[in-house]
Amino acid sequence: MNNVLKFIIKNNFILLFVVLEVFALSMFFSSNNYQNTKAMRFHNRVAADFYKRVSTVESFFNLKNENNLLRAENAELYKKLKSSQYICDTAEYSITDTLYKQQYTYVPATVIYNSIDKHNNFIMLNKGKNDNIEKDMAVISPLGAVGIVVSVSDNFCLVMSLLNTSFRLSCKLLNSDEIGSVSWDGKHYKKGLLTDIPFHVEINVGDTVVTSGYSYSFPKGIMVGTVRDYSSTDNSHFYTAKIDYSVNYSSIGSVYIINNLMIKELQKLDSIKNTLIN
């Protein structure tokens, strides 16, 4: 308080001048319509510019929340796709009625670690057991297939990406439904290989490669890439096609973890099948 009084006493002439100047300007503008109008317009412009800047700053800080809401909405839309459902034929009616039942759900996640420069690359996500994430769940981005969950902790999970020489993904050519296998040769992060396409199948540069649905983790029809080139050796009855991945693995930020609600049932039947074969 003493400091304030000392400041006022020390600068009393300057403060008095400011007060009188403000009073004089106030009287001037209030008694003169033209100047008053000009002053109001100036004030409005300044205020509008100020609020515009404040709004811009607020919008910037709200981008994260808006992005999270958008990703949650996208996850709900993915669930409604026919590729996320299976067809169940029921004979309860005189005419067979085809019903769609939910098979896949989607959990939005954020990449917190990613590598592309190794022979065996992995991605870490910010979702784990606390978010009901389990091993063998598929991971996709809005542009296509990303990888599969191989390890889970309480709050995080580790994903083997398609840029891993140990990873194989069952895929098909969209135009012919011919099944093959996509893998990575450990060279360029934008290019993969599609193998096991029979020699009699028509294949063309630019053909789309998608997931086959034969994997228990990935729904069918998820984009993987496009054919860039293809060839066949003299002793082989199969094509090997070079593909351009649809996903830019060097800039992955937001992804979706896919939960196949029926995977345990399928794995149980698969185990029984293997026992019977052996």
Helix axes 2-10, 12-31, angle to 10 degrees: 70
Is 0.85 surpassed by the pTM of this model?
no
pLDDT value at residue 90? 39
Q: Is the pLDDT of residue 113 over 60?
A: yes
Q: Is the pLDDT of residue 164 over 70?
A: yes
Q: How crowded is the C-beta side of 249, counted as CA atoms within 13 Å?
A: 29
Which amino acid makes up residue 212?
S
Q: Report which listed range, 21-25, 55-59, 157-161, is most confident.
A: 157-161
Region 55-78: what's the mean pLDDT?
58
HEC string for 73-129: HHHHHHHHCHHHEEEEEECCCCCCEEEEEECEEEEEEEEEEECCCCCEEEEEECCCH
Question: What percent of the chain is predicted at pLDDT more than 90?
Answer: 49
